[in-house]
């Protein structure tokens, strides 16, 4: 738990610093000060409200035992097995099979599954997936992933703003336009690299924890294989509109493109499946 709090603190400090650099490139010392204040405020907002923002991005609808007894009761059973408080449960109306967890701590957590994953997976496989997401809750991965998802979008917006207005000021404190352009291009990439470092290292742990909670590593391995096969051919419109949230999913939801491998937020599926099958 301490390690994740340390990672979260480092991420927040890095976000503020990145905002400062971009602000300085756009508006000199005054721009840096404004951007630093904005970055600090953004961190506070992200801590308290980023989970709600992500769920809204995906038009997720909350369900309970009466509206979706199959998923809700499954999550309740797995939460009890994991020794966790019951999280809120959401369904996302997307055909692509995928799922994620969000929230700032286990007491304020939510898990979400797409309608596609509920149709395509067997009950055993879906239990493995939801146990994987509950492991993210138990390991307190959800705070850092949710904050990085929402703030990375803000960094990209700030960078795009700088592309239009950086280097246009007059006076002695005018920033170098070439430096400004470089910073504006690098800022969103830096945000993506932060997410990659977070997500790649935690997925193996969530796979192992999910297999232990569900008691069925083969089911989760089978689920990952199915999700990987179907997700490649079924676009997830909300994820394409908000690519900074891709690292939250159990499988990368973004369509291929030349940069898929370079900016992949997840380990190779074959490697994840091999590790799970080695647990049997």
CATH number at residue 199: 3.30.2010.10
Confirm whether 184 is domain-assigned: yes
Calculated CA dihedral for residues 228, 233, 239, 242, nearest 10 degrees = 120
Confidence at 260, pLDDT banded by 50, 70, 90: very low
Confirm whether 225 is domain-assigned: yes
What is the C-alpha separation between 48 and 40, in angstroms, rounded? 13
Which of the residues 94, 123, 125, 133 is marked catalytic?
A: 133
In the prediction, which pLDDT does 199 show?
63
The answer, yes or no, to whether residue 249 has pLDDT greater than 90, is yes
In the prediction, which pLDDT does 31 show?
75
Question: What does the longest C-alpha to C-alpha distance in the chain come to?
Answer: 68
Confidence at 180, pLDDT banded by 50, 70, 90: low
- First CA to last CA across the chain, in angstroms? 27
Q: Kindly write down the DSSP assignment for every residue of 194-230, as one continuous string.
A: HHHHHHHHHHHHHHHHHHHHHT-HHHHHHHHHHHHHH
Query: Hunting for tokens 């937020």 — which residue is that?
Result: 265
Contact 166, 26 (CB under 8 A): yes
In the prediction, which pLDDT does 108 show?
94
Instruction: Mean pLDDT check: name the lowest of 121-125, 151-155, 159-163, 223-227.
Output: 159-163
What is the C-alpha separation between 191 and 280, in angstroms, rounded? 37
Residue with the larger pLDDT of the pair 213 and 155: 213
In the prediction, which pLDDT does 262 show?
47
Confirm whether 185 is domain-assigned: yes
In the prediction, which pLDDT does 162 show?
56
In the prediction, which pLDDT does 55 show?
96
What total of structural domains would you count in the chain? 1
The answer, yes or no, to whether residue 191 has pLDDT greater than 80, is no
Confirm whether 89 is domain-assigned: yes
Confirm whether 17 is domain-assigned: no
Confirm whether 216 is domain-assigned: yes
Beta bridge partners of 101: 111
107 is catalytic: no
Residue 119 domain boundaries: 51-143+177-277
Residue with the larger pLDDT of the pair 80 and 183: 80
Burial class (CB in 10 A: 0-12, 13-18, 19+), 123: exposed
Residue with the larger pLDDT of the pair 19 and 98: 98
């Amino acid at each position: 738990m301490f390690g994740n709090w340390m990672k979260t603190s480092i991420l927040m400090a890095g976000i503020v610093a990145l905002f400062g650099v971009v602000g300085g490139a756009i508006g000199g010392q005054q721009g840096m000060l404004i951007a630093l204040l904005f970055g600090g405020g953004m961190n506070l907002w992200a801590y308290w409200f980023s989970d709600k923002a992500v769920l809204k991005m995906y038009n997720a609808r909350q369900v309970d035992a009466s509206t979706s007894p199959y998923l809700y009761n499954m999550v309740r059973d797995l939460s009890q097995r994991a020794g966790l408080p019951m999280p809120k449960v959401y369904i996302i109306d997307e055909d692509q099979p995928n799922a994620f967890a969000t929230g700032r701590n286990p007491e304020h957590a939510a898990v979400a599954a797409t309608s596609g994953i509920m149709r395509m997976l067997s009950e055993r496989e879906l239990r493995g997936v939801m146990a994987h997401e509950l492991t993210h809750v138990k390991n307190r991965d959800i705070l850092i992933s949710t904050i990085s998802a929402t703030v990375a979008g803000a960094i990209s917006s700030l960078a795009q703003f700088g592309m239009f207005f950086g280097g246009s000021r007059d006076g002695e404190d005018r920033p170098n336009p070439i430096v400004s352009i470089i910073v504006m291009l690098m800022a969103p990439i830096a945000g993506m690299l932060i997410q990659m470092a977070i997500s790649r290292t935690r997925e193996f742990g969530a796979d192992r924890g999910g297999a232990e909670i569900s008691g069925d590593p083969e089911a989760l391995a089978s689920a990952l294989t199915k999700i990987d096969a179907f997700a490649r051919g079924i676009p997830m419109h909300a994820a394409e509109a908000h690519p900074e949230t891709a690292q939250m999913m159990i499988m990368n939801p973004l369509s291929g493109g030349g940069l898929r491998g370079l900016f992949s937020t997840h380990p190779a599926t074959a490697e994840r499946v091999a590790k799970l099958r080695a647990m049997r």
